[in-house]
Amino acid sequence: MGEPFDAVDVIVTKRDGGRLSDAQIDWVVDAYVRSVVAEEQMAALAMAVVLVGMDAGETARWTAAMVASGRRLDFTGLSRPTVDKHSTGGVGDKITLPLGPVVASFGVAVPQLSGRGLGHTGGTLDKLESIPGWSPWLTPAQMEAQLQAVGAVVAAAGDDLAPADRRLYALRDITGTVASVPLIASSIMSKKIAEGTASLVLDVKVGTGAFLPDLASATELAHTMVRLGEDCQVRTVALLTDMSTPLGATVGNALEVREAVEVLAGGGPSDVVELVCVLAREMLTLAGRPDADPSAALADGTAMDVWRAMVRAQGGDPDAPLPQATHTDVLVATTSGTLISVDALAVGTAAWRLGAGRTRRDDQVQPGAGIELLACLGDQVRPGQPLARLHTDTPDRFTRAHQALADAFTIAEATPAPRRLVLGRIGGGSDVGMGDTS
């Protein structure tokens, strides 16, 4: 028996502005996994989607088809309610590291399937793999056991979880078809839905260091993802958060783990602590713990206890020294005045050039590479004052990193505008815009 559709017909339908039927979408996704639809044919369809778009119904069906291409994890047997968080990626975004233990400390299960970084945004697995002995490779049964015993887990997604998305993601990366809200939303949500969590909080980054630099496109993506989650019976809320300035004072894998541990110990940069607590409150509300106080879990050490248990459960040593780069250099101010902005993209690019990120998925990262920010917004600085410390194992990288940072720090005789971390909220029964959220 032959195939019910022809790939060329599906491509032409979308190319000419038509709407794909549920049956066409189900078939083309499944046929792509089976290699009946060739890579170049899926590339052509993806480009047609970029140019023409998909409506809400098509996007929902596309997402469901990618979920159905593999297994869907099931944690309904746990005695704890489940909730996860997903960030669209940013510079210095180590929020996942303290957030999971904070939420888990209130009797909630936080199953997190994370990835590695590509380009200037760091991956959670890269950060955690800088801890000696820590491993992301867990079976679903091991994940469930750790969730029941500890409450938090960060693991690598298995090959059988939304395999259609894994193939399509790699294809889009090399064919100029990344920039499509339906494709971005379905890629993120198919993995999160397949992960088996009952509730989900999305951290959609906005700004120079984010995948989507403008508020309008980030808002569209957030609305789309919230709708996809709700359509699949996953309670979903999205926060739009600022990524014009790096989060915290460090960018780079081991450097960010160190800073996350400082937050868990009751210290750390105020912006990281604020965002951890804001996201934790959203997650705990979805999980049925609306009265829980995330800041208390940081202050009394309960979140740190969960962190240490989580690291140990995955083979890591929470007391082992973290890797340190063998070479450092310092960027200094050349003028005097007030530090009024730090460009997130420039800092992320510099950290990547120092070895903290990768260009291709099989590249190795340097665990100790990265950047420490030595001055904060609003600080008065003078010529020669250190602004950032650069870390790498390969000192010939310093030149290009300094080039990336040439215009990253804006110093002027002015007062910086107050930074607002949360720019909006979507889902959970109400949408709050920029003007309504502090």
Over the chain (438 residues), the average pLDDT of each successive run of 10 is 91 98 98 97 97 97 96 94 94 96 98 74 87 96 97 91 91 87 94 94 94 91 96 95 96 97 97 98 97 97 98 98 98 96 96 86 86 96 97 97 97 89 86 42
Q: Rounded to the nearest 5 degrees, what angle is found at the Cα of 355, between the Cα atoms of 360 and 125?
A: 65
Question: Please, what are the domains in the chain?
Answer: 7-53 (no CATH), 83-320+421-433 (3.40.1030.10), 327-412 (3.90.1170.30)
pLDDT at 118: 57
Which residues face 239 on adjacent strands? 203, 425
Quote the CA–CA distance of 282 and 189 in Å, as a whole number.
Answer: 18
DSSP state at residue 266: T
**What residue type is assigned to position 123 of the chain?**
G
Q: CA–CA separation, 32 vs 11, rounded Å? A: 13
- The DSSP secondary structure of 335-378, one letter per residue, reads S-EEEEEE-HHHHHHHHIIIIIS-SSTTPPP-TT-EEEE-S-TT
Contact of 36 with 29, CB cutoff 8 Å: no
From the CB of residue 216, how many other CB atoms can be counted at a distance below 10 Å?
9
Q: Distance between CA atoms of 277 and 27, rounded to whole angstroms?
A: 43
Task: Tell me how far apart the alpha carbons of residues 96 and 396 are, in angstroms, rounded to a whole number.
Answer: 32
* CA–CA gap between residue 232 and residue 41 (Å, rounded): 28
Show the beta-strand stretches assigned E in 254-323.
none
232-253: b (≥16 Cβ within 10 Å) or e: bebbbbbbbbbbbbbbbbbbbb
Give the count of alpha carbons within 13 A of 28, CB side only. Answer: 27
Rounded to an integer, what distance in angstroms lies between the CA atom of residue 10 and that of residue 25?
Answer: 9
Query: What is the set of active-site residues?
Result: 86, 165, 172, 187, 191
Largest CA-CA distance found in the chain, in angstroms, rounded = 76
**Are 328 and 365 within 8 A, CB to CB?**
no
Q: What would the two tokens of residue 169 be?
A: 């993601």
